[in-house]
Amino acid sequence: MASESSGRTFQEYLAHHLQNLVYGPLPEGHERKFYAKGDSSTEKDTYCQDKGMDYDGSKYCKETLTEDGWYLANNKTDVEAMGFWALNIDTLFFSILLGSIFVFLFARAARNFSLESPTKLQCFIEMMIDFINGVVKGTFKAAKNTLIAPMALTIFFWVLLMNVMDLVPVDLIPYPAELLGVPYLKVVPTTDLNLTAALALSVFVLYLIFSIKSKGFIGFIKSISLHPFGPWMLPANLFIEIIDLIAKPLSLALRLYGNLYAGEMIFLLIAGMVSINLAELTLTGIGLNLAGIMLSLIWAIFHILIVVLQAFIFMMLTVVYMNMAHEKFEQH
């Protein structure tokens, strides 16, 4: 299997790939565990001693912290001990990197803009701007706001670039990174619920701001307390509208996260069928390898649709919510 290169079982291989690179505070007295390298207990014990740690007799080296500090997590126990103030370094790095690529490409196209001899990049970006602009014009009709189309364009391309990372072979980046000393690395930012929730909450905050700006504070309160059943059913109105408000960021965050996480999980399961120890392959192993490669290609082709569709849905729902926020409240 693909896990053979690191000496892990397939379950450990899955857990390793689904773990973020987390940086956060750990208290004094916390016991940390590190994966011990080696084929035998003697080799693992020697490895741990070279690192100045104790061997636990199974698979890990361990150390007890002598002071409070900020550390990279090495397992779920470390992550749980870090609490709320932990940072998912890989999610931050790849999301900022991909956002920077988006800004660079659009800035370059704008800087080299030409009516006489447009580049392929310029033609592509103009086509996408026309597409997004058409979607916004067909959906956002409640008011005039020049922020909506640029916001929709940014959301679509940023989410799309983050989703596209799911098409990168699962071990292509994490394995070399581990050889360089990076214990964990998730390269698909949208498989991290923290990021999708942050995007959804940002959209939700804008929804509230535009709702209050459009309706006024009193009008906004009336819209959630007097609708849909009128003033005599105020408790029922509040219950329904508050559930509706909560559902907006939840649906945005969980839909994007769930689809991309499931896609990544399927890639990992398929990768588990492939062995890299070619010299030890049996006839059955060769068959599994070929099947794994074919399934991976088929799923990657199908997943292209999911990658694009989820970015479009996130953008489309954002525009719909912005249109709802700009609608004037009318009491019937």
Q: pLDDT tens across 64-100, in order?
A: 888 899 998 888 888 888 988 899 999 999 999 999 9
Exposure string of 310-323, with b = 16+ CB inside 10 Å and e = fewer, is bbbbbbbbbbebbb
Q: What is the pLDDT of residue 210?
A: 93
For 101-124, the pLDDT digits (tens) are 999 999 999 998 888 888 899 999
Return the DSSP state at 298: H
Q: What is the pLDDT of residue 1?
A: 46
Catalytic residue among 223, 259, 275, 323: 259
Indicate if 202 belongs to the active site. no
Indicate if 133 belongs to the active site. no
Residue 313: partners with Cβ closer than 8 Å, 6 or more residues away = 255, 256
Indicate if 88 belongs to the active site. no
Q: What is the pLDDT of residue 203?
A: 96
For the ranges 42-51, 241-250, 289-298, the lowest mean pLDDT is seen at 289-298
Chain-wide mean pLDDT for the chain? Answer: 86
Catalytic residue among 5, 6, 225, 251: 251
Domain boundaries, the chain: 22-87, 90-326
120-134, 210-224, 278-292: range with highest mean pLDDT = 120-134
1-10, 155-164, 214-223: range with highest mean pLDDT = 155-164
Q: What is the pLDDT of residue 268?
A: 83
